[in-house]
A and B are shown apart, each in its own frame.
Chain A
Amino acid sequence: MNALSIRQLTKTYDHSVHALRGIDLDVASGDFFALLGPNGAGKSTAIGIICSLLNPTSGEVQVFDHNLATEREAAKSLIGLVPQEFNFNAFETVLNVVTNVAGYNGMGWKDANKRAEYILKRLDLWEKKDTPGRQLSGGMKRRLMIARALIHQPKLLILDEPTAGVDIEIRRSMWEYLTQINEQEDTTIILTTHYLEEAEALCRNVAIIDGGEIVERGKVAELLSRATMETYVLDLIEGPASRSSQLGPFALRYRDDGSLEVDIPQGHTLNELLKALTEAGVQVSSMRNKSNRLEQLFLQLVDRDAS
């Protein structure tokens, strides 16, 4: 069963701005799915329609086989949303923020409080349960939004840039938590993010949206294998005798800080590169990816200059 099925979804603003141009998308139940795209690509519009925050111009959305237009209550009760911006009542306490949403989803007062205690403890917010939302730190606010989205145990969790502005430690703990609820509680997760390493680390499937259209979709592993090139930055102990821009199949670029940027085309390996460098008299002290593979593929697909 699909957690989400979208058919020919369009959204036109002011009769002229085409935010979505008839997208089709399926997300399987239990998947951890990334929806990627540059700013203004249509990601947030798509999420807005799925979560009933926007009216579509045309098309159909089904959530676990419930049509969002005709089986509104059944479809919406299965969705939890963590939006991009903080959107809770800043004057309400942490506990009230989550129990209100539990109530809107039909959860009685006792059950709501019990579930709130569980979820707030899991997200390290229980100590702050009586604190108004406005007094929380940025990371706590982000976790509160996750707690609120999960309070009614949705089967489909949608996260729109959930780790934007969050420090590395909190981001890692959120990754861990999201992976847990995906694997242990069988919650389907759809994630949009600008951190492509996040999508690469967490998601099994991905769709890339650009200009209101899905330009690529598939398993993350398959897409990565289609990346035509990978770029590494090498710190050198000793450079080559002469600076050329090509070393066999590898394109070289010398950087101002003395390091060397090398493109490894698809079909060639790091071993081949290191062998070629050794033969050219180059000694390497360390190396790192310039950007991750998904990022490079993403940039290729949305017609951006990968360099």
Chain B
Amino acid sequence: MSHHLLNERVAFQTLVRKEVRRFMRIWIQTLVPPVINALLYLLIFGGLIGTRIREMDGIPYMDFIVPGIIMMGVITNSYGNVSSSFFGAKMQKYIEELLVSPVSNITIVAGFIIGGVARGLAVGLLVALVSLLFTQINPVHPIITVLVMVLTSITFSLAGLINGIFAEKFDDISIVPNFILAPLTYLGGIFYSVSLLPPVWEVISRLNPVLYMINGFRYGILGASDMPIWQSFSVIAFFICLLGFIAMRLLNRGIGVKQ
């Protein structure tokens, strides 16, 4: 391995270690709330309302919503981890440690993204464990399950990074999660199948990329989905490429980090 690549690898490991240490240090803020949220959703939608609904697309309602609730935790936490970490680094100006050092922009992006993925997966795993109190999880396609979860986490980590790059005040990192991400997630088929919607709303729903991610994950766990799995992977791949390109371009031009 060349000297340059070796240095980049060490820098990447350092950045990932720092990012994981950050969310583990404040685990009570980063890991506990999403698990409690998920517990409440499972209790109210699955345990209470779900007993009246019984089945969705022939699947017990509790089993139907579990993949979506896990993915909701993965999505919001991957996004939130990177947006708040990057914005915090900008606000306290310790982003300058990275800008002064010889770390390449791609390593900076990768380090923050893996930090977001680590938190997204940690939350996903914890929510899955809590779900076991209500139902069993036996993934029909384990590889697809893991792949969709990791790739979705990468997608939203990249989105969070872009948000962090543009953010200039705290409000800027809460607007997108509250007013864009939450509606997209809730309307992304966590609690219902889009096939139940009137045709117009079904078409509109299919414009929501989160729908493809949740359904891809549901396919991995239950073997059932509102759309073919290739569509899920295509949408995720498209957004990873698009967001990755935007994030790299922003950092290369110094937007949001260099005045």
Interface residues of A (CB under 8 A from B): 13, 48, 51-55, 72-74, 76-77, 79-81, 83, 85, 87-92, 96, 99-108, 148, 152
| A106 and B7 within 8 A (CB) | yes
| A72 and B102 within 8 A (CB) | yes
Main secondary structure of the interface of B (DSSP, over half): helix
Excluding A53-B258, A55-B258, 5 further A-B contacts by CB distance (< 8 Å) are A73-B7, A87-B92, A103-B13, A106-B7, A106-B10
Query: Given the complex of chains A and B, what is the CA–CA distance between A72 and B92 in angstroms?
Result: 25
26 contacts between A and B (CB under 8 A): A13-B259, A51-B96, A51-B99, A51-B100, A52-B99, A52-B100, A52-B258, A53-B99, A72-B102, A73-B7, A73-B104, A77-B7, A83-B96, A85-B93, A87-B93, A87-B96, A88-B92, A88-B94, A88-B97, A90-B92, A96-B18, A96-B21, A99-B14, A100-B97, A103-B10, A104-B15
Which of A54, A76, A88, A89 is in CB contact (< 8 Å) with B102? A76
B101 touches A (CB below 8 Å): yes
B residues near A83, Cβ cutoff 8 Å: 93, 96
A residues near B14, Cβ cutoff 8 Å: 99-100, 102-104
A residues near B101, Cβ cutoff 8 Å: 76-77, 101, 104-105, 152
A296 CB, min distance to chain B CBs, angstroms = 34
B103 touches A (CB below 8 Å): yes
Interface residues of B (CB under 8 A from A): 3-4, 6-8, 10-11, 13-15, 17-18, 21-22, 25, 89, 92-94, 96-104, 253-254, 258-259
Query: Given the complex of chains A and B, what is the CA–CA distance between A83 and B93 in angstroms?
Result: 10
A62 CB, min distance to chain B CBs, angstroms = 15
| B93 and A100 within 8 A (CB) | no
| A54 and B259 within 8 A (CB) | yes
| B100 and A76 within 8 A (CB) | yes
Query: Given the complex of chains A and B, what is the CA–CA distance between A83 and B254 in angstroms?
Result: 19
Chain B: which residue is nearest A72 at the CB level? Answer: B102
6 nearest A-B pairs in the assembled complex, by CB-CB distance: A103-B14, A106-B7, A87-B93, A104-B101, A76-B102, A73-B102
Interface centre among A81, A105, A152 (most CB of B within 10 A): A105
| A106 and B96 within 8 A (CB) | no
A residues near B25, Cβ cutoff 8 Å: 91
| A55 and B254 within 8 A (CB) | yes
B residues near A79, Cβ cutoff 8 Å: 100
| A106-B21 in contact given A54-B258, A101-B97 (Cβ < 8 Å) | no
B residues near A48, Cβ cutoff 8 Å: 259
Chain A: which residue is nearest B103 at the CB level? Answer: A104
Query: Given the complex of chains A and B, what is the CA–CA distance between A100 and B111 in angstroms?
Result: 13
B residues near A101, Cβ cutoff 8 Å: 97, 101
A286 CB, min distance to chain B CBs, angstroms = 46
A residues near B13, Cβ cutoff 8 Å: 103
Query: Given the complex of chains A and B, what is the CA–CA distance between A13 and B94 in angstroms?
Result: 23
B residues near A54, Cβ cutoff 8 Å: 254, 258-259
Query: Given the complex of chains A and B, what is the CA–CA distance between A171 and B119 in angstroms?
Result: 43
| A106-B102 in contact given A89-B92, A96-B21 (Cβ < 8 Å) | yes
Query: Given the complex of chains A and B, what is the CA–CA distance between A83 and B97 in angstroms?
Result: 10
Query: Given the complex of chains A and B, what is the CA–CA distance between A81 and B98 in angstroms?
Result: 12
Query: Given the complex of chains A and B, what is the CA–CA distance between A90 and B97 in angstroms?
Result: 13
| B92 and A106 within 8 A (CB) | no
B residues near A81, Cβ cutoff 8 Å: 96, 100
Interface centre among B3, B14, B259 (most CB of A within 10 A): B14
Interface centre among B21, B102, B103, B254 (most CB of A within 10 A): B102
| A107-B10 in contact given A52-B99, A55-B258, A72-B102 (Cβ < 8 Å) | yes
Chain B: which residue is nearest A149 at the CB level? Answer: B100
| A106-B94 in contact given A53-B100, A73-B102, A101-B101 (Cβ < 8 Å) | no
A residues near B92, Cβ cutoff 8 Å: 87-90
A residues near B11, Cβ cutoff 8 Å: 103-106
B124 CB, min distance to chain A CBs, angstroms = 25
Query: Given the complex of chains A and B, what is the CA–CA distance between A99 and B10 in angstroms?
Result: 11
Query: Given the complex of chains A and B, what is the CA–CA distance between A91 and B23 in angstroms?
Result: 12
Interface centre among B6, B94, B98, B104 (most CB of A within 10 A): B94
| A73-B4 in contact given A87-B94, A90-B92, A101-B101 (Cβ < 8 Å) | yes
B residues near A73, Cβ cutoff 8 Å: 4, 7, 102, 104
Query: Given the complex of chains A and B, what is the CA–CA distance between A100 and B100 in angstroms?
Result: 13
A207 CB, min distance to chain B CBs, angstroms = 22
Query: Given the complex of chains A and B, what is the CA–CA distance between A48 and B100 in angstroms?
Result: 9
Chain B: which residue is nearest A104 at the CB level? Answer: B101
B residues near A76, Cβ cutoff 8 Å: 100-102
